[in-house]
């Protein structure tokens, strides 16, 4: 009551990311329960939804052979659309400073808390330059109530981004599941078509469905073309690196 002033704000006129920080009624993700025991108090202050703190995503350069994606355009066009041509050029320039061929790598955002959490697992992939850490870049984001879905604060009309987090929520890990990897855009298109062509949902319910339109993930799916070390890396980090827009 003394430190979180958002409790006292009227909610009806707030933008979405502020509502996410102030809604407590019927909260399906009770942060005082065992759902987020992996987060410390300082983590909640920096990355939790109730503190309404904003932060940049961290970025990795990852060998394309370690990744699968389902994007609406080429990688270059997609990332320029998401983060801007200048920010994309800066990240690619930072990647090439490591003496690698940028064409062999893809950019992948990662939650800064997740980057610290998997730091030990990244040690060998970094040494082999299978994964290169490029630092923070781009817009500011704020955690929604689900924590691993982030709302763009700098540009509210831009997409929310869902990132894997090694925390337990509703008794399951917030990771990308291999069995459903890179099918989110396809399923979203199917469901949106159903909603758009259903008279009841359109006229009576005024239902609007936000669609997942882009996904990228680190996976062992392309293991036939990987070295033994890369298979080890992909197996260790599968489900822990990726993004859904």
Which one has a higher pLDDT value, 170 or 137?
A: 137
Token pair for 144: 């929604």
pLDDT band at 15 (very low <50, low <70, confident <90, very high): confident
User: pLDDT tens, 198-230?
Assistant: 888 888 887 777 888 899 999 876 556 777 777
Q: Which residue has the tokens 């293991």?
A: 223
Torsion of CA 76, 87, 139, 32, to 10 degrees: 70
Give just the sign of the alpha carbon dihedral 139, 84, 155, 111.
Answer: negative
| Close Cβ partners of 149 (under 8 Å, ≥ 6 residues apart) | 143, 160, 161, 162
Taking the complete model, does pTM exceed 0.95, yes or no? no
User: pLDDT tens, 180-202?
Assistant: 666 878 888 888 888 888 888 88
Q: Is residue 165 over pLDDT 60?
A: yes
| Close Cβ partners of 7 (under 8 Å, ≥ 6 residues apart) | 1, 22, 24
Token pair for 142: 């704020």
């Amino acid at each position: 009551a003394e430190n979180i002033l958002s409790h006292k704000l009227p909610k009806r006129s707030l933008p979405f990311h502020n509502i996410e920080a102030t809604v407590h009624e019927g909260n399906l993700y009770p942060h005082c329960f065992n759902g987020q025991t992996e987060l410390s108090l300082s983590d909640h202050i920096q990355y939790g939804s109730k503190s309404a703190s904003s932060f940049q995503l961290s970025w990795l350069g990852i060998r394309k052979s370690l990744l699968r994606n389902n994007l609406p355009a080429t990688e270059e066009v997609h990332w320029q659309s998401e983060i801007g041509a200048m920010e994309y050029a800066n990240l690619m320039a930072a990647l090439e400073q490591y003496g690698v061929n940028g064409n062999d790598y893809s950019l992948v955002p990662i939650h800064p808390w997740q980057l610290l959490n998997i730091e030990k697992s990244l040690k060998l992939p970094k040494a082999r330059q299978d994964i290169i850490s490029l630092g923070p870049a781009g817009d500011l984001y704020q955690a929604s109530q689900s924590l691993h879905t982030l709302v763009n604060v700098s540009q509210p009309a831009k997409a929310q981004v869902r990132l894997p987090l090694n925390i337990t929520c509703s008794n399951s890990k917030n990771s990308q599941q291999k069995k459903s990897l890179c099918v989110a855009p396809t399923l979203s298109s199917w469901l949106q078509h159903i909603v758009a062509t259903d008279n009841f949902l359109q006229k009576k319910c005024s239902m609007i469905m936000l669609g997942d339109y882009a996904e990228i993930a680190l996976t062992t799916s392309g293991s036939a073309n990987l070295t033994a070390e890369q298979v080890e890396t992909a197996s260790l980090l599968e489900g822990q690196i990726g993004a859904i827009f």
